[in-house]
A and B are shown apart, each in its own frame.
Chain A
């Protein structure tokens, strides 16, 4: 099976060099594609300098659009699956390799990294409460046990990349997982560890952590609606 690792990048100049070095030393046999989502810092120059494969959005489109770019690229270039790995230095390559090994077995269509599987951390925060609540709702809606919907580390097979691009999902967390499960995706979760963020800010920072659940819940409603037939436009 031919897989593509995509790394969405947005203003990650401090972590990018170590991420690139890590991929070169630990995953030399895998194809990696960096997606620069219109960074305003030197991220693009770093990608160019290190000679890695990358695509560049003219301006910032947001995380969901970047994920969709990765899926579109993987489909266009005949990859069997795509894995998403954050460039902020929080994900560990060990966890990525575990997910890749699981993908080779071909038993799952959607593999999601979970920070909460196995009670690895007990510290409760508002963000964690929101994440766990959303995961609970997804579990209720789909009947599949999901413990973490917002983790950026996930793998999707070709068949379900097509589904994900056909039903334009706006939230790449709860909505995407719900929609794919409803379309018959076999989901698996892998316990992962996340490192503390070394620089930059999370996309769910400050007030956004309160706004995000509302948005995600709205998206979940649409994930349950029947699929719209393709228009001729």
Chain B
């Protein structure tokens, strides 16, 4: 990796880092999710600045080609991320269902009370 490539990759990672920070400050990402992404991006930045680290890590992993090692780790991270999002989505769906049900029951009670009230006011002299 020459100096130019290092610079471009680092700049890209820094841009992503700033974007995550921006999403966090705008409350579009919670602190837990923002921390996870920031840690991942710091890891990417370290690898971008010292590609020899990727070489060493891939050797430790079992003599993989560094590019394959990075792809593998990236894919594992993405799968974990997608699974965790699926779990969160499921939890939110459950909460939403309960809210909609609660709303349906309340709405029916309001309708009943309103019709009882209308009946009372028409009956009263």
Contact = CB atoms under 8 A, between A and B. Distances in A.
Interface of A: 35, 53-59, 61, 65, 68-69, 72-73, 76, 168
Contacts of A57: 100-101, 104
Contacts of A54: 108
Contact of A76 (B94, B100, B103, B105): B105
A59 B107 CA distance: 14
A64 to B, nearest CB: 9
Given A55-B108, A61-B97, 10 more contacts: A35-B104, A55-B105, A56-B104, A56-B108, A57-B104, A59-B100, A61-B100, A65-B101, A72-B101, A73-B105
Contacts of B97: 61, 65, 68
A69 B108 contact: no
B101 A69 contact: yes
- Most chain B C-beta atoms within 10 Å of own C-beta, residue among A53, A56, A59: A56
A198 B10 CA distance: 63
A57 B100 CA distance: 6
Nearest to B91: A233
- Most chain A C-beta atoms within 10 Å of own C-beta, residue among B94, B100, B105: B100
A83 B77 CA distance: 47
Contacts of B100: 57-59, 61, 65
Contacts of A65: 97, 100-101
Interface string B85-104: 00000000010010011011
Interface in B50-108: 94, 97, 100-101, 103-105, 107-108
A36 to B, nearest CB: 9
A55 B108 CA distance: 6
9 closest A-B pairs by beta carbon, nearest first, are A55-B104, A55-B108, A69-B101, A65-B97, A58-B100, A57-B100, A61-B97, A57-B104, A56-B104
A168 B90 CA distance: 13
A45 B104 CA distance: 15
- Most chain A C-beta atoms within 10 Å of own C-beta, residue among B101, B104, B107: B104
A73 B107 CA distance: 13
Contacts of A72: 101, 105
Nearest to B101: A69
A54 B105 CA distance: 9
Contacts of B94: 168
- Most chain B C-beta atoms within 10 Å of own C-beta, residue among A53, A59, A69: A69
Nearest to A55: B104
Contacts of A73: 105
A55 B100 CA distance: 11
Contacts of A59: 100
- Most chain B C-beta atoms within 10 Å of own C-beta, residue among A35, A58, A59: A58
A179 to B, nearest CB: 18
